[in-house]
């Protein structure tokens, strides 16, 4: 998991992030032992729809699926964010600094229960 304090999401930052993920996946276009094609699903943030980002994903043999205008029930990540927010709200008064905050976020995300069920509920699994 990668976690960093970066203000704003530019096309360059998002493309670099997605590029690192795509590079770690098996190649679906390989002639021998091709990997599965992956579908990348994200919201309608402007930087998510840049041609540069689209090309990073599609030229690696994967596909992009943009969500329709915001509806929490359509995006499984919304349920994960809700769980993270709830856990942080219980712990926030005991977090003394930014380093401890990062550790708490890592601990919460690592121990989230029902992650697969969340995606099944939304029809992605």
Instruction: Give residue 115's pLDDT.
Output: 60
Nearest to 124, CA basis, from 78, 74, 83: 74
Q: Please give the Cα distance from 29 to 97 (Å, whole number).
A: 45
C-alpha 103/C-alpha 95 separation (Å) is 10
Alpha-carbon distance 86 to 78, whole Å? Answer: 12
Specify the pLDDT at position 33.
86
The answer to whether the beta carbons of residues 91 and 104 sit under 8 Å apart is yes
- Mark the ranges of the chain whose per-residue pLDDT is less than 50: 125
Q: What is the pTM of this model?
A: 0.59
> How much is the pLDDT for 54?
95
Contact 28, 36 (CB under 8 A): yes
H/E segment holding residue 80: helix 76-91
Average pLDDT for the chain: 82
Cβ atoms within 10 Å of 21's Cβ, excluding its own: 15
Instruction: Answer for the pair 22, 63: CB distance below 8 angstroms, yes or no.
Output: no
pLDDT, residue 125, reads 45
Bridge partners (DSSP) of residue 63 are 39
Helix (H) or strand (E) segment spanning residue 56: helix 51-58
């Amino acid at each position: 998991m990668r976690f960093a304090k970066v203000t704003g999401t530019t096309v360059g930052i998002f493309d670099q992030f997605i590029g690192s993920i795509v590079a770690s996946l098996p190649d679906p276009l390989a002639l021998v032992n091709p990997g599965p094609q992956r579908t990348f699903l994200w919201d309608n943030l402007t930087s998510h729809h840049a041609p540069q980002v689209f090309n990073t994903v599609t030229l690696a043999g994967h596909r992009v699926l943009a969500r329709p205008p915001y509806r929490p029930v359509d995006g499984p990540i919304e349920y994960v964010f809700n769980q993270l927010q709830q856990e942080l709200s219980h712990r926030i008064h005991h977090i003394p600094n930014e380093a401890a905050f990062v550790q708490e976020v890592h601990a919460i995300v690592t121990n989230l229960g029902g992650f697969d069920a969340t995606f099944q509920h939304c029809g992605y699994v």
